[in-house]
Chains A and B, each alone.
Chain A
Amino acid sequence: MAVKSLKKQGSDLAQSNKQLEILSNGIFQTGELPTFKNKISESNQFPLKAKKLEILQINVGYMCNQVCDHCHVDAGPDRKEIMTRDTMRQCLEVIKNSGAHTLDLTGGAPEMNPDFRWFVEEAAKVGIKDFIVRSNLTIIRANKKYYDLPEFFKKHNVHVVSSMPHWTRGKTDKQRGDGVFDKSIKALQELNAVGYGMPNSDFRLDLVYNPSGAFLPGDQAAMEKDFKKALLEDFNIQFHNLFAITNLPIARFLDYLIASENYEDYMYSLVEAYNPAAVKNVMCTNTLSISWDGYLFDCDFNQMLELPVNSKVKHISEYNEELLEGRDIVISQHCYGCTAGAGSSCQGNTIPADA
């Protein structure tokens, strides 16, 4: 388990250009593995184009109460980057004027931003259909001031999407830190108690599963069944859907892959599992990601690799739907992570099971 962010450790891998260099050299430069660009060109899907904006994903800061091994944000208690209320106001303007139907708040732990509640309250007024908060669950139990979060979420009809690496303590704590499992279970029970995740409840509670090591996630539907059975039998916990997400070789997960000598094999696995049908719905095609300081990216991963949108418009204050729509999406080798198997996005598979 990591104790500090790579940034705090002064690691080379805290620099995005270093990460991109690793991702583009070695097995890719020798031609042993095709580049993502060549791969999607084979099925005439290059360049990837942005469609109409549907989801605005806002990263309200990299501060987090956890330091998970696989974190692609390199988040942690030592990260101070945090979105200001001014930038939030600019986001709200865009939400009002754009056709986005989903707002997706992420971090770090979004709840740790001091203006988090203000933002949720303001954003709830602007007619967004699906208002998602990506909660790491333990934050609800981290400190008294967060204990009422389940009630707060309910009051504003927030859709809670929570990370849950496994239904067993050992696997969860290995990835996210000692004690995380017990706190997460408690938080889930509290969310259930106010009505979240119950079979006929409108208060949506979805879980995110991503593998604890250098392997890809298994079948999403089968994993959902196993999670539901185990959590219900062992802890009387219910939830709606499970999203299986592939770990992308970025930041701390990349560091782990290299340190454990799994990097090459993992990249081979991603490329071998490449599925051209998963390309069509990768999340960058209908999502815009906004960083804590208001810059625009095709997705949260590109944000962490500091690959800005390919458009004249670079900042939320200059937002212009026409100029952004149809832009070429910026891709690199990490994109293999979104197109392996049934595809992976913040909403889980990009190909529905019955497709």
Chain B
Amino acid sequence: MSKTYYDPADLRKFGNITEWSEELGNKFFEYYGKVFEEGALTAREKSLIALAVAHTEQCPYCIDAYSKDTLQRGVTKEEMMEAIHVGAAIKSGATLVHGVQMMNKVNKLDG
């Protein structure tokens, strides 16, 4: 197999990051665990948000992890794809809204 930067099996080693900085690593995992607990939002809703963010962040590990996690929670393909579109819309919106800044700048310089 050709070497790539990402190896899916590395996801299983995520917990090992505590080995080189135990206190900070543990604090992160504690926080992470708390964030995903059932709260004002259901764990299912949180999982869908995570899936959308995994795509906007373009993290292959997170995409694998939350594709599986949402499936486990009974989320359908249609719901998953809609969530990604929400992420994509925000991402493209965020790009485009900076167009206003560009327009301001251009108008100031070249109005």
Contact = CB atoms under 8 A, between A and B. Distances in A.
A171 B73 contact: no
B68 interface: yes
A167 B38 CA distance: 22
Interface string B58-95: 00000000001001111011000000000000000000
8 contacts: A167-B74, A215-B71, A219-B43, A222-B42, A222-B43, A222-B44, A226-B44, A226-B74
Interface string B23-45: 00000000000000010001110
Nearest to B38: A222
A197 to B, nearest CB: 20
A211 interface: yes
A156 B3 CA distance: 64
B93 to A, nearest CB: 30
Interface of A: 166-168, 170-171, 209, 211, 213, 215-219, 222-223, 226-227, 268, 272
B71 A213 contact: yes
A218 B43 CA distance: 10
B76 A171 contact: yes
Contacts of A217: 72
A213 B42 CA distance: 23
B42 A211 contact: no
A280 B12 CA distance: 27
B12 A272 contact: yes
The prevalent SS among residues of B at the interface is helix
A168 B73 contact: no
Q: How large is the interface on B (under 10, 10 to 19, 20 to 34, 35 or more residues)?
A: 10 to 19
Given A219-B43, A222-B42, A166 B71 contact: no
A222 B71 contact: no
The 10 closest A-B pairs by CB, nearest first: A218-B72, A218-B73, A215-B71, A215-B72, A215-B68, A168-B76, A226-B74, A223-B74, A216-B72, A218-B74
Contacts of A170: 76-77
B76 to A, nearest CB: 6
B73 to A, nearest CB: 4
A223 to B, nearest CB: 6
B109 to A, nearest CB: 54
Given A171-B76, A217-B72, A218-B74, 18 more contacts: A166-B76, A167-B74, A170-B77, A211-B71, A211-B72, A213-B71, A215-B72, A216-B72, A218-B44, A219-B43, A219-B73, A222-B42, A222-B43, A222-B73, A223-B73, A223-B74, A226-B74, A227-B74
